[in-house]
Amino acid sequence: MTISNESALVLFSGGQDSTTCLAWALSRYQRVETIGFDYGQRHAIELEQRPVLLKKIRGFSSDWDNKLGEDHMIDLSLISQLSHTAMTEDIEIVMQENGLPNTFVPGRNLMFMMVAATLAYRRGANVLVGGMCETDFSGYPDCRDDTMKALQVALNLGMATRLKLETPLMWINKAQTWQLAEQLGGANLVDLIRADTHTCYLGQRGELHPWGHGCGTCPACALRANGYSEYVAEKTA
Ligand code: ZN
């Protein structure tokens, strides 16, 4: 793979998708930094896994260790002041009248990208990498490709920059996300993602299932578990 001279800022939450995106960026760019957001998530486990993952990712190769630069944690607790959702409050996950689950935090990904772009401006990064995906999710409108493309234009117009928004998972499903991790870092990266990333909406770690830790029944666990079984089935087919 050709290594680009560009430097990237990866939106890194400590979940499966953003960890795969981080490996993707490390295999492509000369320099990679990470940004994470604390927005009053119901469960801070995902955030607690970030430094664990970063340390282990550094251990993968001296190349990745050399490329991986600063990690930036940003306080976005204002999100929980602005909206009431099942991501930030202890309420049941339900489908709303507008067809979106109440785990949808309106404007969250838009704000994440805007804040990341502002930091990228200061850090001299010209690529933002995010795990947004149109294929598998609950139809979150801020994960759509058109939303990201429009945002790229708006950010560049508003800041007089030439930032690129890269979303390597946009058109692949969860099984293919596991496959991508395997291509980027082999079985070791798959194992790291399995054991150390966190996805569960309920914040449960519990036992280590074949697909990782979690309650096993919330929408995020179900998606992750199904994707993993499909990935394993395709591997052994
Ligand atoms: Zn769960």
99: in domain: yes
191: in domain: no
Ligand 1 centre from 56 Cα, in Å? 24
Distances (CA, A) of 163 to 7, 68, 114, 146, 169: 10, 19, 11, 16, 19
What is the extent of the structural domain holding 75? 4-173
- Summary count for the chain: helices (H), strands (E): 8, 7
d(CA 74, CA 76): 6
Ligand 1 centre from 198 Cα, in Å? 9
14: in domain: yes
pLDDT at 237: 81
69: in domain: yes
Ligand 1 centre from 138 Cα, in Å? 15
pLDDT for 152-176, tens place per residue?
999 999 999 999 999 999 999 999 9
What do you get for the CA distance between the two ends of the chain, in Å? 28
218: in domain: no
Among 11-15, 60-64, 95-99, 230-234, where is mean pLDDT lowest?
Answer: 95-99
d(CA 9, CA 136): 24
124: in domain: yes
Ligand 1 centre from 214 Cα, in Å? 5
Ligand 1 centre from 213 Cα, in Å? 8
51: in domain: yes
Ligand 1 centre from 200 Cα, in Å? 4
113: in domain: yes
What CATH number should be reported for the domain holding residue 53? 3.40.50.620
Confirm if 26 and 12 have CB atoms less than 8 A apart: no
Ligand 1 centre from 216 Cα, in Å? 5
Q: Give the environment of ion ligand 1: residues with CB less than 5 A.
A: 200, 202, 214-215, 218, 221
pLDDT for 10-64, tens place per residue?
999 999 999 999 999 999 999 999 999 998 776 677 788 899 999 999 999 999 9
Confirm if 26 and 64 have CB atoms less than 8 A apart: yes
How many domains are contained in the chain? 1
* Cut 0.85: pTM above it: yes
